């Protein structure tokens, strides 16, 4: 008697039983992608940047590795309602991420939602088997701006310092001023694009793959992954060194155009070569260690054992996914449109003279305005009559609605981009004329011998917030309760003269703040609930 093929390991069961569950899972996955269409669009935009241009490869490689893992383990399908629970949690992350303008949170929810589909079909064994593939998907998600900006500015300074060290080692006369490399006749600025992130992000992603296909001791695999950071930083610094030598020899043209791009790709290939050489060396340092390249071949089915059939858990997930897709299409996950602003440009007509301070109006560069996407702003230098001290630069950026790609952000993230280093960072309460206190974020920055003192806070509907974490929270609360997301960034800064103390600069900023705060409250103090 021939045995029932449905009882043999690795068989798919009856043809209809295999096709129907597979089609149901595919339908669920398509519905999940439709529900997350908004964050997916933001992700595709980020993937166009050079730092994340490797992003489209990650889902393909994660799928390849995941299928190999399933093909090796061949779990017995045990559909689980845990898939529906994971999808519900993913939708909650989508909701919060959209209302708080926190796209990274929504994208992590997308990874969770993708995992929910096979969990509903195969059971929780899928998570135990394929967690490395799911974790790898997270490398395709951009860092939150809160982390990205700070990391970029720090890497600019590190890359500049290492580049200067290499140039001095080669006998090239050079002077470093923050992230500016002075070669005498030419000054090179290590901008954000040269911070090393465009090497670091793909290198860490590639290092994760290298550590996974390396079959050996855990410490060697961790070393492969962690070593990608110094490799990327050192190689990026060598690139800056080569550019400095070339510019010093042939002029500024050697740092522009095709030559600049070729240098970038050449250095990245060298980064990969160094990592591969490290992996080969680690193989030689132990017995039984090897690099498994089977994951680069096409996986062969079957990917499960036993019988695959429609189960209530899979059907329930499909219903939930379709409902989520319809809800997303109806705009239920996105924040509602804010009500019309009472004053579309609240900063228009701001008084040029306040309490003995006279302001000189300034304007932002049109290209910068296109990036900031703000609705109104104020920028001016204020001085007290007859006072020789440096002026107070006063900047207010107002957003009538804050969304992904257009919202207030911390000056502490962008100030270092011009080569400034943060020397001190603290929260301080500045006393006002009416006896109240104004909480501010106080940062002291320096570049060479120059120093500046900066006060800033986020004016979020009459709340003075000094951290972006608090800003995200209240943005979520106001979006849910009042359907509003209007807010502003307020920044005051002043230079310190060579002989001036920090206390003198503090007194100057505090005196101006005491005079200007009432005028700001009049224009930005929209605290009443929306009707």
Does residue 174 lie within any of the structural domains?
yes
Pair (128, 65) in one structural domain:
yes
Question: What mean pLDDT is predicted for residues 21-34?
Answer: 85
Does residue 337 lie within any of the structural domains?
no
20 pLDDT exceeds 60?
no
**What distance in Å separates the CA atoms of residue 93 and residue 42, rounded to the nearest whole number?**
16
pLDDT of residue 461: 79
- Count of alpha carbons within 13 angstroms of residue 417, beta-carbon side: 13
b/e per residue 298-326 (b: at least 16 CB within 10 A) = ebeeebbbbbbbbbebbebbbebbbebbe
156 pLDDT exceeds 60?
yes
Pair (216, 315) in one structural domain:
no
- Give 496 or 235, the one with higher predicted confidence: 496
How many Å separate Cα 424 from the centre of its chain? 24
pLDDT of residue 5: 40
Question: What mean pLDDT is predicted for residues 177-185?
Answer: 62
pLDDT tens digits, residue range 286-295? 777 888 888 8
Least confident of 46-50, 189-193, 408-412: 189-193
Pair (176, 248) in one structural domain:
yes
Residue 409 phi/psi, 5-degree rounding, is -145, 160
Pair (514, 366) in one structural domain:
yes
Structure tokens at 383: 């001085």
pLDDT of residue 19: 56
Q: What ranges make up the beta strands (E) of 33-128? A: none
Does residue 419 lie within any of the structural domains?
yes
**What distance in Å separates the CA atoms of residue 82 and residue 317, rounded to the nearest whole number?**
10
CB 96 within 8 A of CB 102: yes
How many Å separate Cα 257 from the centre of its chain? 28
pLDDT tens digits, residue range 437-466? 999 999 998 877 889 999 999 998 778 999
CB 307 within 8 A of CB 13: yes
pTM of the model: 0.77
Pair (386, 411) in one structural domain:
yes
Pair (417, 319) in one structural domain:
no
404 pLDDT exceeds 50?
yes
pLDDT tens digits, residue range 65-118? 999 998 888 888 888 899 999 999 999 999 999 888 888 999 999 999 999 999
Q: What angle do CA 176, 144, 491 make, to 5 degrees?
A: 65
How many Å separate Cα 359 from the centre of its chain? 36
**What distance in Å separates the CA atoms of residue 139 and residue 142, rounded to the nearest whole number?**
8
Residue 14: pLDDT band with limits 50, 70, 90: very low
Query: H-helix or E-strand containing 187?
Result: strand 187-189
Q: Are strands 187-189 and 180-182 parallel, antiparallel or unpaired?
A: antiparallel
- SS3 of 325, please? helix
Pair (121, 154) in one structural domain:
no
Residue 207: pLDDT band with limits 50, 70, 90: very high
Does residue 422 lie within any of the structural domains?
yes
pLDDT of residue 419: 65
Query: Residue 490 pairs with which residues in a beta bridge?
Result: 396, 457
Percent over 90 (pLDDT), the chain: 35
Q: What is the SS3 string spanning 224-257?
A: HHHCHHHHHHHHHHHHHHHHHHHHHHHCHHHHCH
Of 356, 392, 379, 377, give the one whose Cα is nearest residue 515: 356
pLDDT tens digits, residue range 374-390? 889 999 999 998 888 89
Structure tokens at 66: 């995941």
**What distance in Å separates the CA atoms of residue 155 and residue 179, rounded to the nearest whole number?**
10
Residue 196: pLDDT band with limits 50, 70, 90: low
130 pLDDT exceeds 50?
yes
pLDDT of residue 183: 64
Does residue 342 lie within any of the structural domains?
no
Least confident of 133-137, 401-405, 453-457: 401-405
411 pLDDT exceeds 70?
yes
Report in angstroms the alpha-carbon separations of 298 from 64, 83, 295: 7, 27, 8
pLDDT of residue 61: 93
Pair (211, 163) in one structural domain:
yes
Pair (138, 199) in one structural domain:
no
pLDDT tens digits, residue range 301-340? 888 887 766 678 888 888 999 999 999 888 888 777 666 5
pLDDT of residue 7: 40
- Mean pLDDT in the chain? 82
pLDDT of residue 248: 64
Pair (188, 290) in one structural domain:
yes
Does residue 345 lie within any of the structural domains?
no
15 pLDDT exceeds 60?
no
Pair (109, 150) in one structural domain:
no
531 pLDDT exceeds 80?
no
**What distance in Å separates the CA atoms of residue 492 and residue 456, rounded to the nearest whole number?**
6
**What distance in Å separates the CA atoms of residue 374 and residue 364, rounded to the nearest whole number?**
11
Domain that holds residue 192: 145-294
Residue 9: pLDDT band with limits 50, 70, 90: very low
147 pLDDT exceeds 60?
yes
11 pLDDT exceeds 80?
no
Pair (310, 414) in one structural domain:
no
pLDDT of residue 374: 86
412 pLDDT exceeds 50?
yes
């Amino acid at each position: 008697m021939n045995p029932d093929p449905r009882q043999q390991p690795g068989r798919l069961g009856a043809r209809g039983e295999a096709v129907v569950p597979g089609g149901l899972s595919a339908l669920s996955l398509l519905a999940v992608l439709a529900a997350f269409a908004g964050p997916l669009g933001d992700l595709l935009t980020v993937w166009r940047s050079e730092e994340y241009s490797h992003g489209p490869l990650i889902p393909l490689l994660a799928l390849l590795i995941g299928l190999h893992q399933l093909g090796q383990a061949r779990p017995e399908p045990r559909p689980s309602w845990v898939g529906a629970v994971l999808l519900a949690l993913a939708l909650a992350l989508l909701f919060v991420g959209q209302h708080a303008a926190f796209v990274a949170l929504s994208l992590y929810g997308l990874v969770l939602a993708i995992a929910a589909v096979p969990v509903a079909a195969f059971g929780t064994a899928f998570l135990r088997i394929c967690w490395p593939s799911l974790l790898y998907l997270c490398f395709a998600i951009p860092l939150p701006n809160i982390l990205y900006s700070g990391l970029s500015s720090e890497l600019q300074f590190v890359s500049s310092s290492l580049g200067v060290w290499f140039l001095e080692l080669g006998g090239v006369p050079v002077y470093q001023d923050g992230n500016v490399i002075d070669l005498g006749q030419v000054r090179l600025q290590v901008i954000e694009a040269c911070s090393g992130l465009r090497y670091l992000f793909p290198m860490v992603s590639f290092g994760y793959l290298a550590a996974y296909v390396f079959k050996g001791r855990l410490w060697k695999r961790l070393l492969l992954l962690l070593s990608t950071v110094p490799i990327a930083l050192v190689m990026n610094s060598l690139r800056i060194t080569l550019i400095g030598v070339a510019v010093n020899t042939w002029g500024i043209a050697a740092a522009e155009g095709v030559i600049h791009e070729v240098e970038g790709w050449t250095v990245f290939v060298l980064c990969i070569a160094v990592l591969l050489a490290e992996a080969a060396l680690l193989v030689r340092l132990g017995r039984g260690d090897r690099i498994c390249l089977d994951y680069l071949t096409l996986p062969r089915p079957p990917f499960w054992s036993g019988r695959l059939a429609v189960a209530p858990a899979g059907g329930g997930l499909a219903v939930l996914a379709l409902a989520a897709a319809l809800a997303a299409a109806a705009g239920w996950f996105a924040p509602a449109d804010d009500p019309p602003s009472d004053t579309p440009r609240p900063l228009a007509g701001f008084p040029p003279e306040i309490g003995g301070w006279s302001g000189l109006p300034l304007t932002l560069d049109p290209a910068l305005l296109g990036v900031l996407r703000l609705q109104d702003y104020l920028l001016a230098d204020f001085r007290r009559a007859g006072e020789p001290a440096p002026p107070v630069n006063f900047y207010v950026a107002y957003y009538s609605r804050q969304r992904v790609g257009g919202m207030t952000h911390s000056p502490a993230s962008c100030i270092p981009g011009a080569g400034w280093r943060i020397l001190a960072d603290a929260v301080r309460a500045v006393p006002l004329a009416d006896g109240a206190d104004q909480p501010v974020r106080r940062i002291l920055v320096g570049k060479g011998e120059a120093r500046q003192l900066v006060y800033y806070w986020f004016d979020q509907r009459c709340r003075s917030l000094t951290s972006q974490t608090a800003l995200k929270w209240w943005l979520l609360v106001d979006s849910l309760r009042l359907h509003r997301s209007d807010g502003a960034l307020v920044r005051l800064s002043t230079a310190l003269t060579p002989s001036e103390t920090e206390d003198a600069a503090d007194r100057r900023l505090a005196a101006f703040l005491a005079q200007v705060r009432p005028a700001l409250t009049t224009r930005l103090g929209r605290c009443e609930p929306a009707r």
